Structure 1
């Protein structure tokens, strides 16, 4: 992806077609127009990813609430701790300690605070 952004903005030394404004240059933390343009393009993709993450977070929370409501309506328990441990372990394995923290936040979003 970064290579694509570099290619799109050109590394020829010539100013890109859509050269950043002075304000945009200040926001990127560099005075180099090529680097500022590259940073802007990468940040645009980051913003797209963030929006997708937010939408997925909201969808996951809603689905988790539906699971809990269905389970409780059928006489089941509010939580299934074995399932929560499974999720925590999966995130920890994939992402390390930060994964555990992320999983805890996801679980809380779906079931609410204990």
Structure 2
């Protein structure tokens, strides 16, 4: 008898099914059999203590602040770049970018370098 295999097929969030396929003497004329049943949704957030909801709301507030600051910083950086080009300077100053990379790395760690690269790119565009 072949062991039963289960596979979850999800096309849409409300259509998650588990399909079991197998062969063996328990099937009619030794052919394949399959069953389909509703799969349990395991990715739904579980209700927890009220403190979790409060913390999640605070995270959402922090995210909104980060997005606003990101947009403000990118706008200022683009404005500085335009002013530098208009006055005959270069689009960017490598020593300034290295200073920013070091500040993020020192403040956050190794991931800070990656974050700083994203922040710099948002203001000046790709190199």
TM-score normalized with structure 1 length: 0.71
Richer in strand (by share):
2
Q: Given the alignment, which residue of 91, 107, 111 partners 1:94?
A: 107
Root mean square deviation, CA, Å: 1.1
Q: For 2:97 and 2:60, locate their aligned partners in 1 and report how far apart those are by CA, in whole Å.
A: 30
How far apart are the structure 2 equivalents of 1:38 and 1:90? 33
Residue correspondences, number = 84
List, as ranges, runs of 4+ consecutive aligned residues in structure 1 with deviation greater than 4 Å.
Answer: none
> Which residue among 65, 77, 83 is the counterpart of 1:52?
65
Matched, 1:70 2:83: yes
User: Aligned-pair distance for 1:38?
Assistant: 1.1
| Distance (Å, rounded) in 2 between the aligned partners of 1:64 and 1:39 | 37
Q: Which structure has the higher relative contact order (CA within 8 Å, separation 6+)?
A: 1
Provide structure 2 residue ranges, at least 5 long, that are not aligned to the other structure.
1-43
Cα deviation 1:9-53 (Å, max 9, x = unaligned): xxxxxxxxxxxxxxxxx52x35x5xx1x11111000000000000
Flag the structure with higher helix content.
1
- In structure 2, distance between residues paired with 1:64 and 1:107: 8
**1:87: Cα distance to partner?**
0.1
Residue 38 of structure 1 corresponds to 51
Work out whether 1:81 is the aligned partner of 2:94: yes
TM-score normalised over the length of structure 2: 0.64
